[in-house]
Amino acid sequence: MFESLTGKLGEVFDRLRKRGALSEADVDAALREVRVALLEADVALSVVKDFTGRVRLAAVGQDVIRSVTPGQMVVKIVHDQLVELLGGGQPVDEAGINLRAAAPVVVLMVGLQGSGKTTTTAKIALRLKTRERKKVLMASLDTRRPAAQEQLAVLGTQVDVATLPIVVGEQPEAIARRALETARREGCDVLLLDTAGRLHIDDELMAEARAIGAIAAPTETLLVVDAMTGQDAVNLARAFNEQLGVTGIVMTRVDGDARGGAALSMRAVTGRPIKLIGTGEKPDALEIFQPDRIASRILGMGDIVGLVERAAETVERDEAEKIARKLQKGEFDLDDMASQLRQIRRMGGLSGVMGMLPSIGQIKQKLAGAKVDERVLRRQEAIIGSMTRIERRNVKLLNASRKRRIAGGSGTSVEDVNRLIKQYMEMSRIVKQVGRMGQKGLARQGMAALMRRH
């Protein structure tokens, strides 16, 4: 998601930066392009108008034209307004959802059929279990679709979270009551209720969800919507919110090629925040929606924090922290690369990782296109493993005879070794660039880096 928008905004800002001095007309022209880019990304017209209006107002107020780096200032303003648009003013729940209620905290999942409710229920359960150390119970109230309850039971086994035993023929309201009793009796912290969807919004669906809500008194009523449905997702959210009182949105299939307009319009149109996003089919493919990070991602600044966090789950935390510190300092040697390669393997391939790196166009494409498979990663690790410690610290030492020795030692060819060195140099360049941004100054400096691209 957001790729095309990111590309277009990048072009607009690149041009702006090249100008040096900016007239008010330049800013207006750039804003017209931003407006087109947003509309093409399928952002609601009213939201686009409001957004560009705010940016313009802020730009005028901050005297962009007279500032030393006007292009940068415009991008900073766009970034800040994006954060705002995505709901940045509100605090984000640490667990991704609101758990501030007496146990068992009830979370009700609603949405259309196929939007990803059942999958997301299991994802949330896994997240609460592993990160928040919560005792979770899941119950499926979907008595409509054949085998829907079994689907949740299977997922429950997979993520090792309890599901309410299935009683054949029991109706949704009765299941809700039994689930509550069971959760109380067993001292559960959180009860997740997965409900039946429909193909369209209908009165029956709403009535059923309302009846369940009346019984279960949920702290969160999460509407699950599919990002691929574009503006329909926003209209749907508005309708559900009016009728049911939704507390948050989960947007699924963000890993697809949705243009992202729905994500950008959601908050402004429905008044409800996106709380979580589904980034894949696997149970761990769920992320907290953090406006500042998403805004940075849209503006091509990458999501270093997300990257490091994801790494932290697959490697020991101190190793991840070490890498984060190095990234910030812009340090990166072949030992670091070997440890990155190991992580990439553990994190399940490059595609997930690359989406989070700053958008340094060609390299990203090159790496993504390379379809790096496990064998290649292992070979690269072997090459690094055949180097001496000193060589790993200083790649410049690698002359022809050393390369031959390394190729022999790792059962590869000199070309393989050269390819690895080249890739290392590219990664190293990314890391240095990221490092220059520093942690605190990421927002501001990141803009500069964005501008310096190409």
Binding site for ligand GDP (CB under 6 A): 111, 113-119, 197, 224, 252-253, 255, 278-281, 285
Bridge partners, residue 251, by sequence: 225, 277
Q: How far is the CB of 139 from Mg ion (least distance, A)?
A: 12
What is the C-alpha separation between 2 and 256, in angstroms, rounded? Answer: 10
Closer residue to ligand GDP, CB minimum distance, 280 or 358: 280
The dihedral over CA atoms of 333, 336, 341, 347, expressed in degrees to the nearest 10, equals -150
Backbone angles phi, psi at 223, to 5 degrees: -90, 125
> What ranges make up the beta strands (E) of 270-387?
274-278, 286-288
Residue nearest to Mg ion (CB): 118
Give the one entry of Mg ion, ligand GDP, none that residue 253 binds, where binding means its C-beta sits below a cut-off of 5 to 8 angstroms depending on kind.
Answer: ligand GDP
Closer residue to ligand GDP, CB minimum distance, 115 or 428: 115
Closer residue to ligand GDP, CB minimum distance, 132 or 255: 255
Q: How far is the CB of 245 from ligand GDP (least distance, A)?
A: 20
Q: How far is the CB of 252 from ligand GDP (least distance, A)?
A: 4
Q: How far is the CB of 226 from ligand GDP (least distance, A)?
A: 8
Give the one entry of Mg ion, ligand GDP, none that residue 355 binds, where binding means its C-beta sits below a cut-off of 5 to 8 angstroms depending on kind.
Answer: none
Nearest CA among 234, 135, 140 for reference residue 184: 135
Closer residue to ligand GDP, CB minimum distance, 227 or 327: 227
Give the one entry of ligand GDP, Mg ion, none that residue 219 binds, where binding means its C-beta sits below a cut-off of 5 to 8 angstroms depending on kind.
Answer: none
Closer residue to ligand GDP, CB minimum distance, 261 or 283: 283
Q: How far is the CB of 206 from ligand GDP (least distance, A)?
A: 16
DSSP for 224-243?
EEEGGGTHHHHHHHHHHHHH
| Burial class (CB within 10 angstroms; exposed 0-12, middle 13-18, buried 19+) of 361 | middle
Bridge partners, residue 61, by sequence: none
What is the C-alpha separation between 159 and 284, in angstroms, rounded? Answer: 9
Give the one entry of Mg ion, ligand GDP, none that residue 4 binds, where binding means its C-beta sits below a cut-off of 5 to 8 angstroms depending on kind.
Answer: none
Closer residue to Mg ion, CB minimum distance, 82 or 110: 110
Point out which residues bind Mg ion (CB under 5 A). Answer: 117-118
Residue nearest to ligand GDP (CB): 278
Q: Give CA separation, 109 vs 133, 152, 244, 348, 409, in Å.
A: 21, 13, 12, 28, 55
What is the C-alpha separation between 258 and 48, in angstroms, rounded? Answer: 18
Q: How far is the CB of 352 from ligand GDP (least distance, A)?
A: 12
